[in-house]
Amino acid sequence: MQKKTLLIVALILIVAGLAIYPRLSQSSAGNSRGVIGVSEVSAAPNDYLGKLTITGDAGAIYEEESVIIIVDGGGCCTIPLLVPFTTEQQTILETASLYTGTLPAEGESLQVSGTLSKVDAYYVFDVDEIIASGKVIITKVK
């Protein structure tokens, strides 16, 4: 009788574990996304809302406006990065953040950390820092 009870308890624990494990592993995977490519974020931005790091190449640099367009390897998907260095640029771009650093060279590989959010019908990527060649080249001041 005692053997039968132990077997039933063990079976219940195994079934409960199988039911709970996928949910636990799925929620922890969402918190540690790693580095995501430009094309993945462009294809399904709703899946990546929140903090993330995007990797891509500097496709175009607009120095006067302090805008960097990052592209994927194929050059088909892009994400604009607004990184104003002056209050004038900040006013033109209508952003709350100011940055310090130097703009990357066109074609340079970048890792950009920040927060992707949806504002009305648009997606906005608020940059925290930009890394090129293993060095931080742009950081948020405020």
Residues 73 and 125 in one domain: yes
The closest of 95, 96, 105 to 57, measured between CA atoms, is 105
pLDDT tens-digit readout, 1-52 = 565 555 565 545 554 454 454 444 333 344 456 899 999 999 999 999 999 9
Residues 43 and 28 in one domain: no
Q: How many domains does the chain have?
A: 2
- Kindly report the number of other CB atoms within 10 A of residue 129's CB atom: 17
Residues 38 and 11 in one domain: no
| 78 and 142 Cβ atoms separated by less than 8 Å | no
Domain boundaries, position 124: 34-140
What's the predicted TM-score (pTM) here?
0.74
CATH number of the CATH domain containing 86: 2.40.50.140
Predicted pLDDT of residue 3: 55
- Kindly report the number of other CB atoms within 10 A of residue 64's CB atom: 8
